[in-house]
Amino acid sequence: MTATLDPTSGELAVAESLPATTLPTKDPSLRPVPHAKLGGLPLDNRFLTWGARFAALGMAWVITQRLLPWHGLGWFVVVFALCNVLILAVGTAIFDTNVAVADRVAQWTVSSAAVFVFVALGSVIVYVLHKGWPALHHLNFFTHDMSGVSAKDPLTKGGIKHAIAGSAIQIGIASLISLPLGVGTAVFMNEVGGRFAKVVRTVVEAMTALPDILAGLFIYTVWIIAFGQPKSGFAAALAISVMMLPIIARASDVVLRVVPGTLREASYALGASRWATVWNVVLPTARSGLATALILAIARGVGETAPVLITSGNTPFLHLNPFDGVMTSLPLFIFDGARSGQEYAIQRAFGAAAVLLVLVVVLFATARYLARPASNKPTLLRRLRSSAGGFRLRSPLNMRPATAPGSTVMPVTPPASNEGTL
C-alpha cells in the first residue's frame, strides 16, 4: 500500500492493490434445463401414461376374452378403464410420491368422465339422426301434418308441422308464466327474506323432484274438472309451467346468492330503494345465470309427455288456438309413433326426435346470445361501417375542392375565444 498526494484536493489518496477483473466464461459441458410447462407432464410420465394404456388394452382383452365370460364392447371398456387406472397408479407410486399418485388418478378420473359424457352425447345424437334420416330428407315432413295419413303410409305423406307448432306454443306460454314467477320467488327468498322465505324455499326444493304425472293430474283436476275448461294447449302449458317453475326458482336462487353484497350496499348508499337495487343492479348482474335457469327449465319442459297427454291429448291436425281444442306436441308425437310398431311411424318418431334436438339447441343458442355480457368491443357491422366511412373520406372524389375553378376561397377564421370574459 502506498500513499500519494492528490494535487487537486491536497489530500492524501491511498492506492490499494486490487485484484484484476475477470469475465465469466461459458462452460460447454453444461446444458440449459428446459422449464416444465404448467399442466404438462415430463417425458417419463408421458411414457408411463401411454404404456399403461397399451398394457390395459392387453389385460382387458385377456380378462374379457380368455378368463371371464364378459363378452361385448361394454365389458371391454369397463375392464380397460379399471386396468388403466390401476397400472397408472402402481407405476406412478414406484418413482413418485403419494400426492402425485392421487393427482394422476384424479386427473384420469376427470378426463375419463368428460370423454364418457361426450361419447354418450355424441352417440345419442348420431343414433337419432341416423334413424330419423329417412324421414328428415322429405320436405313434406316439415310442411304437412298427419291429417288423413295412417301409420302404414310411406314417408312421402304426412309430417310433423302440427307437433312443431304445438310444442312452440306450449313452451312459449309456459315460459311466459314460469319465468317471472320463478325469478320473483328467487328475489323474495334472497332480497326480502323473513320467516316465510324459509317455508317458500322448502316448498321450492320439494317441488323440484315433483313427478310430471302429478303436475298433469293437478292441472286436470283444477283447470279441467273444477273450472270446467276443455282440454287445450293452454292446459298443457299450465302443466308444463308447474314443472318449470321450481327449476327456475331454485336455479335463480343460487344465481342471486352469487351477486356480491357490495353492489347492493353501494346502491343503498346512493339512496336507491330495494326495488330499484334489485331491478337495476342485482338482476342485470345475474342475467347470464338467469338465462341458464330458463334453459334448464325449457330442457325439462320441452320433453314432457304425460302432462300433455292428460291435459291436451293427441291430434293429427294443425291447431294454433291454445285456448280451444286439442293440441299435440313433439314428445307426444314421438311417443305415439314409437309405440305403434309400424316401421314408417317409428322413422317419423325418430325424425321428430331429431327436430326436437335441433329445437333445444336453437333455444340454447338464442338464450346464450341474449344473456351474453356487455362488451366494449365494436360489432362486426359497426367495424365494417367505420371502415366504409373512412374509405369514403379518403377517396379522391371527396378530396375535390367545393368551389368552381378560378373562384377565390375565403379563409375561415376561427371564432375568438371568450376565455377570461364575463
How is residue 321 written as a grid cell?
Answer: 288456438
CATH number, residue 256: 1.10.3720.10
Asked if 121 and 173 sit in the same domain, the reply is: no
- 362-385 mean pLDDT: 68
Nearest one of 31, 128, 151, 45 to 94, comparing CA atoms: 45
120 and 165 housed in the same domain: no
114 and 176 housed in the same domain: no
Q: Tell me whether residue 356 is in a domain.
A: yes
Tell me if 289 is assigned to some domain.
yes
- Which domain-ending residue is among 101, 135, 169? 135
Looking at the fold, whether 257 and 357 belong to one and the same domain comes out as yes
Residue 103 lies in a domain: yes
Is the same domain home to 211 and 277? yes
**Same domain membership, residue 210 and residue 262:** yes
Q: Do 119 and 199 share a structural domain?
A: no
In a domain, 150, yes or no: no
Q: Is the pLDDT of residue 250 over 70?
A: yes
For residue 316, give Cα distances in angstroms to 60, 168, 284, 319, 322: 51, 16, 43, 9, 15
Lowest mean pLDDT: which of 9-18, 197-206, 297-306?
9-18
- Does 270 reside within a domain? yes
Number of separate domains in the chain: 2
Let me know whether 109 and 172 are in one domain. no
Cα separation values, 97 from 53, 103, 110, Å: 21, 10, 20
Q: What confidence tens digit (pLDDT) does each residue in 304-344 have?
A: 888 898 998 888 888 888 988 889 899 999 998 888 888 88
pLDDT of 359: 81
Domain limits for position 59: 44-135
58 and 123 belong to one structural domain: yes
AA identity, residue 354: A
Phi, psi of 325 (to 5 degrees): 100, 160
Q: Give pLDDT tens digits for 184-193.
A: 999 999 888 7
Q: Which of 26-40, 140-154, 314-328 has the lowest mean pLDDT?
A: 26-40
The CA-atom distances, in angstroms, between 385 and each of 4, 131, 153, 382, 422 are 80, 46, 54, 5, 44
Distance, first Cα to last Cα, the chain? 80
Same domain? 187 vs 89:
no
Q: Is residue 12 part of a domain?
A: no
Residue 243 lies in a domain: yes
Same domain for 214 and 356? yes
The verdict on 125 and 238 lying in the same domain is no
Alpha-carbon gap, residue 383 to 380, rounded angstroms = 5
238 is a domain residue: yes
pLDDT of residue 218: 93
Q: How far is the CA of 422 from the CAs of 416, 417, 418, 419, in angstroms?
A: 14, 12, 8, 8
Of the candidates 355, 370, 385, which is a domain's last residue? 370
Residue 170: per-residue pLDDT: 93
Q: Which pTM does this prediction carry?
A: 0.67
